[in-house]
Amino acid sequence: MSERRLHLNLFIHDTGHHEASWRLPESDPSADLDLGFHQRLALIAEDAKFDSLFLADSPALWGDPGRRPSARLEPTVLLAALAAGTTRIGLIATASTSYNEPYNLARRFASLDHLSAGRAGWNIVTTAGDAAARNFGLDGQPLHRTRYERAAEFLEVSTKLWDSWADEALVADKDAGVHARADRVRPAGHRGRFFNVEGPLNVRRSPQGYPLLVQAGSSESGKAFAARWAEAVFTAQPTFAEGQAFYADVKQRARALGRNPEHVKILPGIVPLIGDTEAEARALEAELDRLIQPEFAREQLAVLLRVEPERLDLDAPLPDDLPAEDEVEGAKSRYTLIVELARREHLTVRQLIGRLGGGRGHRTFAGTPVQVADTIAHWFEHGAADGFNVMPAVLPSGLEVFVAKVLPILRERGLFRTEYEGATLREHYGLPRPGNQFATAPAVGASA
């Protein structure tokens, strides 16, 4: 096989990423709360040797419950259950830096990394939207800049907590009666603008040192944050040119900060709709789009665009006087992506709703297995991706078809593994285990 290989992550999203997937006869509208459903998907992906699976999350009701399934299990709890039934696949959960505290969250992810024997990852989000803010005693969301400044300090505190136990702290010497070297357990001692956290963490350093750090924002602040902290980046890039530009930008930012750009893996989202013929794939896409309820979708789009729904005529283009990105305090990069998509392709609101219904702005591709594999290979081989965040339009069938018909083609081309070569998530992604920032610091505490 070639030296450089694709990284594939399965993004699980209830019955599938197409918003109308729950309306198909095969779909279980209660799958979002079904452990067995998630276990089945995890085992399919693990048998196929995916690097990881991923659960998105928000600390608020996700969208209009009248439109599609909106309930969500807390992802670290669900992944702890999935860890018990899997052995190799990585387990990535979303958690917000705006509506958590570093100590609790660092403890939760360290626990998941121990329980999974080194397979945990954290998708770091700052959480846009007033709905989440109002669930935590705020009148509205903090400013975009403030959310990212808090996130940066949150990561500083988290890594200090994960490093508060040296790798060699545990000795478990029964004869001497010494369980751990107290001088190798250090307080974090953090005093900052947003957080004062003493530590140490009450969970010792985990198998990976700390979980794989994933980031998904593509605004200027998001890219700066990714360049500083992220080891994998989930991104929405609808065209190859945009994918190339984003890939080069983030890699260069990481290089400028003294990081190895190969240690920042870029994984755009792809929503594959696969048929044995192109006509079959297009027919599946058309059937799903037919099941979209445009009035529900228009209301959701209006919220994102900060306009009244009545201003969005389904059979007309977007209004000309939408706010500029710098006027938006929510999901800046997703806002710009959607507006630019509509302007570039001269879409009506109805057409835009159809495009977003399939993948919320991610690359949606209907075609044969060979065409899907060709698209993946082209992005991978020409500087637009290190792998893909695979987002099946319908679950489980979309994943099953991808595994059965697309992966064999990628393997024949030497682009994807046939077996796992490592045990931890970092090893799957070809990333080093981080050193302990306190390794050479003066010891604090009594010696053993």
pLDDT of 328 higher than 70: no
Instruction: Indicate the pLDDT class of residue 393, thresholds 50, 70 and 90.
Output: very high
pLDDT given at position 72: 87
pLDDT digits (tens, 9 = 90+) for 131-172: 899 999 999 999 989 999 999 999 999 999 999 999 999 999
What's 367's domain CATH number?
A: 3.20.20.30
In a domain, 96, yes or no: yes
In a domain, 38, yes or no: yes
Burial category of 265 from C-beta neighbours within 10 Å (exposed 0-12, middle 13-18, buried 19 and up): buried
Considering only CA atoms, which of 366, 353, 371, 360 is closest in space to residue 289? 353
Q: pTM of this prediction?
A: 0.89
pLDDT given at position 2: 46
Cβ neighbours, 10 Å, residue 150? 18
In a domain, 146, yes or no: yes
pLDDT given at position 334: 67
> Percentage of residues in the chain with pLDDT exceeding 70?
93
Mean pLDDT, the chain, as a whole number? 90
In a domain, 345, yes or no: no
Domain total for the chain?
A: 1
pLDDT of 446 higher than 60: no
Considering only CA atoms, which of 264, 267, 167 is closest in space to residue 210? 167
In a domain, 415, yes or no: yes
Domain containing residue 120: 7-278+362-428
In a domain, 266, yes or no: yes
pLDDT digits (tens, 9 = 90+) for 264-306: 999 999 999 999 999 999 999 889 888 887 777 777 777 777 7
> Higher model confidence: residue 329 or residue 4?
4
In a domain, 383, yes or no: yes
pLDDT given at position 444: 43
Write down how long the chain is.
448
In a domain, 228, yes or no: yes
CA distance 425 to 404: 24
> Residue 402 in contact with residue 392, Cβ under 8 Å?
yes
Burial category of 311 from C-beta neighbours within 10 Å (exposed 0-12, middle 13-18, buried 19 and up): middle
Ranking 6-20, 334-348, 362-376, 404-418 by mean pLDDT, the lowest is 334-348
